[in-house]
Amino acid sequence: MNRDEHSLPLVLAGPLLRHATPQRLVFWLAVSEPLRVRFSFVDEQSIPRNFELEPGQQACRFINAGKHLHYLLIDVAFDQPLPEDSWIGYTLALQRLEGAETTWIEASELAPGLCYPGQKTPGFILPSHVGSLLHGSCRKPHHLGGDGLVEADRLLARCFEQKSLSIENSTTGASATIESPTWPSALVLTGDQIYADDVAGPMLHAIHQVIEMLGLPNESLADGAVTGVASAEVLYSHPSSFYQRDTLLPRHKHNAALIEVLFGGAEKPIFTADSAHNHLITVGEVLAMYLLVWSPALWPLIDLAPPPNLLPASRLLYQTERQAIEEFVDGLRVVQRLLAHLPTAMIFDDHDITDDWNLSREWEEVAYTHPFSKQVIGLKWHSLAIKLPQIFPKKSAGNLGHISAYAVVLCWGWKELPQTRWLTTP
């Protein structure tokens, strides 16, 4: 698949409002090329606050993760605090660094539907105290129960409809109800943001297309002489890439425990146990999946027709999963809108890396004494560091080796990150 780079959307995911206080705001954004950023904030007193940021500045940290994948962590501080308990609208505009097109493009133009009906801009409320929280746990795109974040967006839409932009009922002081919602203080997600060990076939197919269209680097894989997949590119085209990744490890007795660790732990009755056999392995796969579960931007460029050479049973399963994935994608537009309006706190759980991660000493001994699984787990940390830049303390490198320590450095000091073939900073 050869995509014209000019067909790629500028905004691949975001903006995600991550941290919000009267003194400081943090937004996360994934874009397809380096861009200048202009933020404007207007509160109810009509006090404008404008920021024009260059990628690489302290307030606009920048990471290049591929030819057409760049991350911006926008961190702005205010000399005069923002007001609490009132609506603050913001506009985000982007400008190319090079080329003839140097006009500023509003994010609302790049991400249609980013604003709620009747609103000219997205915005947020800074609560003086916590009135209510929206809580979410694990999120699996091919789960048949629907996406809870879509329902969270409906709640915000009802707040606008009822003009209830406060954290408490203005007349009674009561907390929110379904009939009389109030604006949540934050969205708190305390479960698996993705299931790296339980991936539907259509999602994996979409992931591989995203890796190609964004020009994500090839990766060397450990123990290639044993697994037969010495690189990411070989993995993606391997006959066992779909629904058979557990067969990449030879069925020797000493590999039995490792196969169970990586491919046997997610056997839960969603469709069949075979979903565990699409376990994500590379950095590129993880980075692409986060883009696909947080944003609708790339989905119009993706062809979900089954990949060739699927076994008959796998093809049947693929078609069943495809319906669930298409329903999930239909809700991503409002998920993007939700995440642009509510400060969102996230943790990662075991499935973001693999099921039962570090659950016991026996698990650690099996996983970390094999070069293939040790690399897979370490690379997941690498990916999480980009996605969740505020969750790692400075001294939490642990025992995952240099990749884990590298990820921690990435989290708390992108500007100090050394140049690599995978990630570059200005």
Give, to the nearest 10 degrees, the angle between helix 283-294 and helix 201-213.
Answer: 100
Q: What is the pLDDT of residue 376?
A: 61
Query: Of all residues in the chain, what percent carry a pLDDT higher than 70?
Result: 67
pLDDT band per the 50, 70, 90 thresholds, residue 207: very high
pLDDT of residue 256: 55
- Residues 381-396: what's their mean pLDDT? 42
Judge whether residue 260 has pLDDT over 60: no
270 and 390 share one domain: yes
Question: With 60 as the cut, is the pLDDT of residue 116 above it?
Answer: yes
Question: Lowest-confidence range among 41-45, 88-92, 214-218, 254-258?
Answer: 254-258
Q: Has residue 181 been placed in a domain? A: no
Terminal C-alpha separation, the chain: 30
- 173: in domain: no
Q: Do 208 and 85 share a structural domain?
A: no
Domain boundary among 79, 106, 125: 125
Give the model's pLDDT for residue 22: 92
| Shared-domain flag, residues 92 and 221 | no
pLDDT confidence tier of residue 33, bands split at 50, 70 and 90: very high
Q: Is position 166 within any domain?
A: no
Based on the fold, state whether residues 279 and 396 are members of the same structural domain: yes
CA 159 – CA 395 distance, rounded (Å): 41
Asked whether residue 105 falls in the same domain as residue 222, the answer is no
Answer whether residue 248 shows pLDDT above 80: no
Encode pLDDT of 345-379 as tens digits. Answer: 877 655 556 655 556 666 666 666 666 666 666 55
Q: Are residues 210 and 319 in the same domain?
A: yes
Under 8 Å between Cβ of 340 and 28: no
Q: What's phi and psi for 38, nearest 5 deg?
A: -125, 120
Structural domain including 32 reads 5-125
User: Is residue 130 situated within a structural domain?
Assistant: no
What is the pLDDT confidence band of residue 23, given thresholds at 50, 70 and 90?
very high
For residue 323, pLDDT beyond 90: yes
Within-domain flag for 111: yes
Give the separation between CA 405 and CA 163, rounded to whole angstroms: 47
Is residue 184 one of the residues assigned to a domain? no
Are 113 and 237 found together in one domain?
no
What is the torsional sign of CA 216, 217, 223, 225? positive
What distance in Å separates the CA atoms of residue 238 and residue 249, rounded to the nearest whole number? 13
Peptide bond preceding 15 in cis form (omega within 30 of 0): yes
105 and 238 housed in the same domain: no
Residue where a domain terminates, one of 125, 149, 173: 125
385 pLDDT above the threshold of 70: no
Q: At 230, is the pLDDT very low, low, confident or very high (cuts 50, 70, 90)?
A: confident
Give the end of a domain, one of 125, 155, 170. Answer: 125
Are 65 and 213 within one domain? no
Q: Are residues 280 and 408 in the same domain?
A: yes
Instruction: With a cut of 70, say whether residue 166 has pLDDT above it.
Output: no
Quick one: average pLDDT of 228-256?
74
| 115 and 230 belong to one structural domain | no
Q: Are 28 and 179 in contact (CB under 8 A)?
A: no
290: in domain: yes
User: Does residue 141 belong to any structural domain of this protein?
Assistant: no
Q: Give the confidence band of 168 by pLDDT, cuts at 50, 70, 90.
A: low
Q: Give how many domains the chain has, as a whole number.
A: 2
**Residues 264 and 378 reside in one and the same domain:** yes
Going from the C-alpha of 267 to that of each of 40, 261, 262, 277, the distances in angstroms are 48, 11, 11, 9
CATH of the domain at 65: 2.60.40.10
**pLDDT attached to residue 241:** 85
Q: Which residues contact 119 (CB under 8 A, 6 or more apart)?
A: 89, 160
